[in-house]
Amino acid sequence: MLPVRSTHAYGSDQTQLGELFLPSAAGPHPVALVVHGGYWRARYDRRLMTQLCLDLSAHGLAAWNLEYRRVGAGGGWPNTFLDVAAGTDLLGELDAPLDLTRVVAVGHSAGGQLAFWAAARPRLPAGAPGADPRIAIRAAVSQAGVLDLQLAGELTASAEPTRALLGDPAEHTDRYELASPRALVPLRIPQLVLHGDHDDIVSIRIATSYAAAARDAGDPCELVVLSGVGHFEHIDAHSHVWHIARDWLVAQASASRS
Quick check: 175 and 162 in contact, CB under 8 A?
no
Averaged pLDDT, 19-42: 96
**pLDDT at 256 (0 to 100):** 62
Collect all residues with Cβ–Cβ distance below 8 Å to 237 and sequence separation of at least 6. Answer: 51, 52, 54, 55
Averaged pLDDT, 154-165: 96
Q: What's the pLDDT band for 217 if we cut at 50, 70, 90?
A: very high
**pLDDT at 257 (0 to 100):** 58
The fold of 4-254 is: Rossmann fold (3.40.50)
Distances (CA, A) of 167 to 77, 146, 160: 8, 16, 9
Pairwise CA distance, residues 88 & 34, whole Å:
10
Pairwise CA distance, residues 6 & 224, whole Å:
34
Averaged pLDDT, 22-32: 94
Amino acid at 150: Q
**Phi, psi for residue 245 in degrees, rounded to 5:** -65, -45
Averaged pLDDT, 37-46: 97
Q: Residue 120: how many CA atoms within 13 Å on its side-chain side?
A: 27
